[in-house]
Amino acid sequence: MYKGGYTGKILRINLTDHSVKEEALPFQTAKDFIGGAGFGIKYLFDEVPANSDALGPDNKLIFAPGPLSGTNVPCASRMAVTAKSPLTGAVGMGLSGGHFPVELKFAGYDALIVEGRSKEPVYVWIKDGEVKFRSAKTLWGMKTTDTQQIIKNELNDQNVRIACIGPAGENQIKIASIINEWRAVGRKGLGAVMGSKNLKAIAVRGGEKVKVNDKDKLKEARKVFTKAMKDSPVLYPAFANLGTPMVVDHLCHMGIFPTKNFLGTGAYDPIEQIGTAVQATRNAGKEHCYGCPVGCSQVKLAKTGEYAGIMTEGPEFETMYSFGGATGVENIDAIIAADRLADEMGFDTISSGVSIAFAMELYEKGILTKEDTGGLELRFGNDTAMMAVLRQMSYREGLGGLLADGAKIAAEKIGKGSEKFAMHVKGLELPAYDVRGAKSHGLNFATSFTGADHCRGYAFQEIFGIPVPKEVDRFTAEGKGALTKWNQDIRTATTDAPTMCGFLLDMAVVGIATRNTADLMEAITGISYTPDEILSVGERINNLARAFNVREGFTRADDTLPERLMTEPIPGGVSKGHFISREELKLMLDEYYIARGWDVKTGSPTRATLKSLNLEYAADVLNL
């Protein structure tokens, strides 16, 4: 049935009875959803019952690479991991690169669905269609790097690719991540879902090559793609040499790099302390994902004080913000050490850093005291206190136990008006953009099906000034509804589903993205799409994700932003004075819902819209 790109097989693993089943991938599912995020959200909506406990056995964990993964298309070693999020209660979907996604394809599968719960800790060993369950009792409590090495030794194969959790996931901390090699499925607490299933790791090895339908067509489509990469003004050499941390300088110059829990944006500018010039003094090499010529991941080595000798792959831009800008920590070596600790313990660097920054503000306001912090002077800039709380979080100890499930849940427990200082959307902590100065980016945070997510509909028009599909003013609210819809749909369709690195869309290929994705898909899989049909795949996925959230009780009222962003102007810098008023947010939401064909009052997709996207069955589920 499948001419290329797809293996045509789904692997289903039930941890409750340790059973394994291979299923055929329905052709219509492949056609309508492509892969990656599309497969994850499709199976999540269809198979996870309404109002399921995200940490219960009914939740499912879906690992899905895309049809481009494992081919010679550059930067396509990506996967989406999807489950109901224990942090937000909404769709939990994260993306990761490295080598694990391609190895899963080489092992023969388009997706892996993990369900149930094992009685004892286990890890799963998948090799060329053979699946074994192995005890993980001796691995339980182990950090992620050690876990991966011990499993490789046990299997007598150093080329095995592994996705695993650390102590944070084992303790079902709701900001826990899944780590594969040096890469992370960091956000929405998917590591906690894995821990709730008593699944320590998944090890994969495969020898099956991914078939290609038409090699000559692929050669031509790939040529167009790589030319766009080479023509990019920032991809080479800047991004290749500096990686994502280069954006620290860029956002500081724009006046929207958030500092001190969004209190100091523009007024406190740490570019001299943690910008690219300082970062360059810690460079120790770089890492490439499978088939990636860019190699944006920078390896850094801490060189001073108590952190000297600590090495990490990163910190990425978001981590420079969460452990640096948000907390006011200016010690680059402390940020490196915090990044390494978070990866080893297995929790999200964004949520953990922003939660600590939230606690720092509460401490400075007197809402938290030394009695609450265990004697720590939890002030902005105190890296020693930050590291101490970070260590506590994985084991739910001390103040770390209060912050371990994110800022929203911590604020609900603390009370005393602390809720207005918790920087999150739908329970997911804000990424590294002060959207008071980039309003489409802010609308995306408000409406994204995962909450405030740096990997959803990135407004590159506002952040990088790319005039596709048109030039925009980042400070205005008008017209941002339709733009945000387009950004969300094109990113989902051309990067998250096929699967492809999203950085390329933002920096290099957006002008050709839908046409080139259609050409690549036809060349590899033999399935034909027009550019508009590619964009419709993104629209379909975003609508089904929204339908899942509506089924779980989310409404228009949840599409909002933290109070600070709607009432307090940016205090300094070139974006000084700007904010997103409630009136502007209402205007943008109305525009967005109209553009999507959703009910403006409730924010729910309509039956007509779902039917037009071949999702009428979802309308039946929602009783529309």
Q: Is residue 506 over pLDDT 80?
A: no
- In this structure, of 168-172, 243-247, 344-348, 405-409, the range with the lowest mean pLDDT score is 243-247
Tokens, residue 579: 């904010």
Q: Is residue 290 over pLDDT 90?
A: no
The torsion angles phi and psi of 112, rounded to 5 degrees, stand at -125, 125
Pairing of strands 9-14, 111-115: parallel
Indicate the pLDDT class of residue 335, thresholds 50, 70 and 90. Answer: very high
Q: Which helix (H) or strand (E) holds 448?
A: none
The CA distance from 313 to 285, in Å, is: 9
Q: Is residue 301 over pLDDT 90?
A: yes
Helix 480-491 / helix 439-447 crossing angle, nearest 10 deg: 60
Stretch(es) of the chain classified as CATH 1.10.599.10: 435-561+581-621
Indicate the pLDDT class of residue 484, thresholds 50, 70 and 90. Answer: very high
**pLDDT at residue 291 in the model:** 86
Stretch(es) of the chain classified as CATH 1.10.569.10: 243-249+257-423
Spatial neighbors of 94 by CB under 8 A, at least 6 apart, are 80, 81, 177, 178, 185, 186, 187, 188, 190, 455
Indicate the pLDDT class of residue 241, thresholds 50, 70 and 90. Answer: confident
What tens digit of pLDDT does each residue of 171-226 get? Answer: 999 999 999 988 999 999 999 999 999 999 999 999 999 999 999 999 999 999 99
Q: Is residue 507 over pLDDT 90?
A: no
Q: What is the CATH number of domain 435-561+581-621?
A: 1.10.599.10
Cα dihedral: 451, 591, 545, 225 (round 10): -90
Tokens, residue 78: 């990506």
Q: Which amino acid is at 354?
A: V
Closest CA to 176 of 194, 151, 162: 194
**pLDDT at residue 328 in the model:** 98
Assigned architecture for domain 243-249+257-423: Orthogonal Bundle (1.10)
The torsion angles phi and psi of 274, rounded to 5 degrees, stand at -130, 15
Whether the Cβ atoms of residue 451 and residue 426 lie closer than 8 Å to each other:
yes
pTM beyond 0.75: the answer is yes
Q: Is residue 424 over pLDDT 80?
A: yes
Domain at 9-205, CATH homologous superfamily: Aldehyde ferredoxin oxidoreductase, N-terminal domain (3.60.9.10)
Instruction: Compute the average pLDDT of residues 354-359.
Output: 98
**pLDDT at residue 502 in the model:** 87
What tens digit of pLDDT does each residue of 519-567 get? Answer: 999 999 999 999 999 999 999 999 999 999 999 999 999 999 999 999 9
Cα dihedral: 180, 510, 39, 112 (round 10): -20
Whole-number mean pLDDT of the chain? 96
DSSP per-residue letters across 468-530: SS----TT--TTHHHHHHHHHHHHIIIIITTT--HHHIIIIIGGGHHHHHHHHHHHHH-----
Q: Is residue 168 over pLDDT 90?
A: yes
**pLDDT at residue 240 in the model:** 78
Indicate the pLDDT class of residue 476, thresholds 50, 70 and 90. Answer: very high
Q: pLDDT higher for 293 or 2?
A: 2
Spatial neighbors of 111 by CB under 8 A, at least 6 apart, are 10, 11, 25, 35, 39, 40, 43, 62, 63, 64, 65
Stretch(es) of the chain classified as CATH 3.60.9.10: 9-205
Tokens, residue 400: 């770390």
Q: How many of the other CB atoms lie within 10 Å of CB of 307?
A: 20
- Sign of CA pseudo-dihedral 313, 457, 25, 88: positive
Of the chain, the percentage scoring pLDDT greater than 70 comes to 100
Per DSSP (E only), the strands in 181-317 are 183-185, 199-205, 283-287, 297-301, 311-313
Q: Which amino acid is at 492?
A: T
**pLDDT at residue 462 in the model:** 96
Instruction: Compute the average pLDDT of residues 282-294.
Output: 88
**pLDDT at residue 503 in the model:** 81
Indicate the pLDDT class of residue 242, thresholds 50, 70 and 90. Answer: confident
Whether the Cβ atoms of residue 529 and residue 131 lie closer than 8 Å to each other:
no
Q: pLDDT higher for 103 or 236?
A: 103
**pLDDT at residue 323 in the model:** 98
**pLDDT at residue 150 in the model:** 98
Whether the Cβ atoms of residue 622 and residue 615 lie closer than 8 Å to each other:
no
DSSP per-residue letters across 13-59: EETTTTEEEEEE--HHHHHHH-STHHHHHHHHHHHSPTT--TTSTT-
**pLDDT at residue 284 in the model:** 93
**pLDDT at residue 245 in the model:** 86
**pLDDT at residue 234 in the model:** 81
Helix 37-47 / helix 531-551 crossing angle, nearest 10 deg: 30
Identify whether 499 is preceded by a cis peptide bond (ω within 30 of 0). Answer: yes
**pLDDT at residue 151 in the model:** 98
- Sign of CA pseudo-dihedral 602, 606, 607, 611: negative
Residue with tokens 């081919």: 71
Q: Is residue 73 over pLDDT 90?
A: yes
**pLDDT at residue 294 in the model:** 83
Residue with tokens 């182990």: 142
Indicate the pLDDT class of residue 435, thresholds 50, 70 and 90. Answer: very high
**pLDDT at residue 510 in the model:** 87
Whether the Cβ atoms of residue 124 and residue 133 lie closer than 8 Å to each other:
yes
What are the percentages of helix, strand and coil residues in the chain, rounded to 5?
Answer: 45, 15, 40
CA 423 vs. chain centroid, Å, equals: 17
